[in-house]
C-alpha cells in the first residue's frame, strides 16, 4: 500500500519544491556584487560569465537563470550599484545661482563613493564597446527622465564625463592631485554656463 512507494524510495529528489528556492535572494545579491567588481576591473568585453560566477561562488547557469545574458547582468549590476540620476536631479533643484557647483560636487562624490564609483568605472570602460551604456551614463549625468536631452545638458554631461575619465580612469596627475573642493571650484563655472546660459551667477 503505497505510503512510501517509488516516490518515497527516491527520497528528497523526487519532488521539486515550487516557488523561490531558499537562498536565491542571497545568490542574486552575490552575483550582482561579483559582477560590479569584475566589470569594473575588466570592462564588459573582458568580464566573462564564468569569472563572475566563480567570484560569486555560484554555477554559471544560475547567472543565466536570474539575468539571461551578460548584457542584462551588466545593466542590473550598474543599476544596483548606483542611483546617479536621482542624486543629480537633487543637485539640479534649488536656486539657479550656484547650480554648477552643486552638480559638480554631487557628481564627483558619486565617483568617490566606493560602490557607486565601481559601477561608474565599469560603465565607462564598457561604453565604447556597447554604445548603449555610454548613452545611459550621459543621460544619467544630464538627469534625464528619458526625454531627449537639451544641448546644454549634453555639453555639461560630456564635460563631467571627461573630468571623471581624467581623474578616476586615466588618473592624470594634474587632475588626480587636486582635492575635491579644488576640482569643484575649477569646473563649476563651466557647468554653470552650460546649465544656466542666460547669465545667472556662476556659483
To the question of domain 22-81 being in CATH 1.10.10.60, the answer is: yes
CA distance 136 to 21: 33
Q: Where are the domain boundaries for CATH 1.10.357.10 in the chain?
A: 84-195
Q: What is the pLDDT along the chain (203 residues), one digit of tens a residue?
A: 444 444 444 444 444 333 344 456 689 999 999 998 898 888 888 899 999 999 999 999 999 999 888 877 887 777 665 666 677 778 888 888 899 999 999 989 989 988 778 777 776 776 555 555 455 555 555 555 555 667 887 888 889 889 999 999 999 999 999 999 999 999 999 999 998 887 544 44
For the domain made up of 84-195, give the CATH fold: Tetracycline Repressor; domain 2 (1.10.357)
| pTM of the complete model | 0.61
Cell numbers that stand for 78 in this block:
550598474
- In angstroms, the CA 128 to CA 133 distance is 8
Start-end of CATH 1.10.10.60 domains in the chain: 22-81
Amino acid at each position: 500500500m503505497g505510503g512510501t512507494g517509488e516516490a518515497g524510495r527516491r527520497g528528497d529528489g523526487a519532488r521539486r519544491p515550487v516557488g523561490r528556492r531558499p537562498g536565491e535572494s542571497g545568490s542574486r545579491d552575490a552575483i550582482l556584487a561579483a559582477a560590479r567588481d569584475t566589470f569594473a576591473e575588466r570592462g564588459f568585453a573582458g568580464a566573462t560569465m564564468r569569472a563572475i560566477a566563480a567570484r560569486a561562488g555560484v554555477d554559471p547557469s544560475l547567472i543565466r537563470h536570474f539575468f539571461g545574458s551578460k548584457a542584462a547582468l551588466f545593466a542590473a549590476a550598474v543599476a544596483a550599484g548606483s542611483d546617479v540620476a536621482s542624486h543629480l536631479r537633487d543637485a539640479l533643484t534649488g536656486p539657479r545661482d550656484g547650480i554648477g557647483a552643486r552638480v559638480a560636487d554631487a557628481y564627483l562624490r558619486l565617483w568617490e563613493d566606493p560602490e557607486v564609483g565601481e559601477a561608474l568605472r565599469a560603465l565607462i570602460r564598457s561604453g565604447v564597446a556597447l554604445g548603449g551604456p555610454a548613452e545611459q551614463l550621459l543621460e544619467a549625468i544630464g538627469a534625464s527622465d528619458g526625454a531627449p536631452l537639451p544641448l546644454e545638458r549634453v555639453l555639461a554631461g560630456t564635460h563631467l564625463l571627461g573630468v571623471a575619465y581624467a581623474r578616476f580612469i586615466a588618473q592624470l596627475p594634474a587632475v588626480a592631485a587636486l582635492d575635491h573642493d579644488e576640482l569643484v571650484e575649477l569646473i563649476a563655472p563651466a557647468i554653470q554656463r552650460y546649465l544656466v546660459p542666460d547669465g545667472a551667477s556662476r556659483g
